[in-house]
Amino acid sequence: GAVVSQHPSRVICKSGTSVKIECRSLDFQATTMFWYRQFPKQSLMLMATSNEGSKATYEQGVEKDKFLINHASLTLSTLTVTSAHPEDSSFYICSASPISGDRDTQYFGPGTRLTVL
Amino acid sequence: AQRVTQPEKLLSVFKGAPVELKCNYSYSGSPELFWYVQYSRQRLQLLLRHISRESIKGFTADLNKGETSFHLKKPFAQEEDSAMYYCALKNNDMRFGAGTRLTVKP
């Protein structure tokens, strides 16, 4: 089955530093990947849609200068949380849909727990 | 605007009892609806989608356009069904409901 990985799975950083989270589709190609954020006891919130070869599309209220997204290839998207602050502490999840085959299904990564001290 | 509502945050049933997880949506077009499940300490995974009209792990969900609902049902709940369930609506992106935590007691 299609597998999406995320790295790191857990990161703790100091306030003011930047953190990069990688999302990879391991056995399929995806022109579009999605980044979600999940606060404790709340639902997944779509942050942005990452498009290979073009700029990401951000949801309303999401600061694009703070959450930098780069979709470098058909198998890799990165989310960089710049100048992280404690309120950015959250669970970040990416998903991807295959270019071919089961395009309607999103495959989710295991998530990255970010803790900003 | 597209919106997904799961009115119950918590649902608890006994093993063998029927279970229904509610999902209502608002969307002006023809919706594509999904149910995702997240077992403890595992990643989110697709459970079923209305297009395929399939039954997975004994769960079914029928799209009711008149009531704008896509409730998830299972006639006899099992303990291993205990998990977090998310209803989702797909347009160009995916919108998730708040989720319902199902606990099946022995």
Q: Say whether A46 and B86 touch across the interface (CB within 8 A).
A: no
Residue pLDDT, tens place only, A58-111 = 988 999 999 999 988 999 999 999 999 999 999 999 998 888 766 667 788 888
Beta bridge partners of B11: B102
- What pLDDT does A103 receive? 63
- What pLDDT does A102 receive? 64
Query: Which band of pLDDT confidence, cut at 50, 70 and 90, is reported for residue A40?
Result: confident
Nearest to A42 among B36, B90, B98 (CB): B98
Strands of the sheet with B19-21, listed across from one edge: B19-21, B72-74, B60-61
d(C-alpha A22, C-alpha A4), whole Å = 10
The helix/strand/coil state of B80 is helix
Q: Say whether A109 and B43 touch across the interface (CB within 8 A).
A: yes
Give me the DSSP letters along A68-96. EEEEEETTEEEEEE-S--GGG-EEEEEEE
Report residues of chain B scoring pLDDT below 70: 1, 92-93
- What pLDDT does A16 receive? 96
Per-residue pLDDT for A10 more than 70?
yes
> SS3 string of B19-58?
EEECCEEECCCCCEEEEEEECCCCCCEEEEECCCCCCECC
d(C-alpha A72, C-alpha A32), whole Å = 11
Instruction: Sort out which chain B residues have CB atoms less than 8 A from A34's CB and list them.
Output: 93-94
Chain A: nearest CA to B86, how far in angstroms? 8
**Bigger pLDDT: A99 or A35?**
A35
The token duo for B15 is: 């093993």
Contact B33, B63 (CB under 8 A): yes
d(C-alpha B17, C-alpha B78), whole Å = 8
Query: Which band of pLDDT confidence, cut at 50, 70 and 90, is reported for residue A41?
Result: low
Q: For chains A and B, count residue pairs whose Cβ atoms are closer than 8 Å.
A: 38
Chain B contacts to A (CB-CB under 8 A): 32, 36, 43-46, 49, 51, 86, 90, 92-99
- What pLDDT does A1 receive? 63
Distance of CA B28 to the CA centre of its chain: 20
Per-residue pLDDT for A7 more than 90?
yes
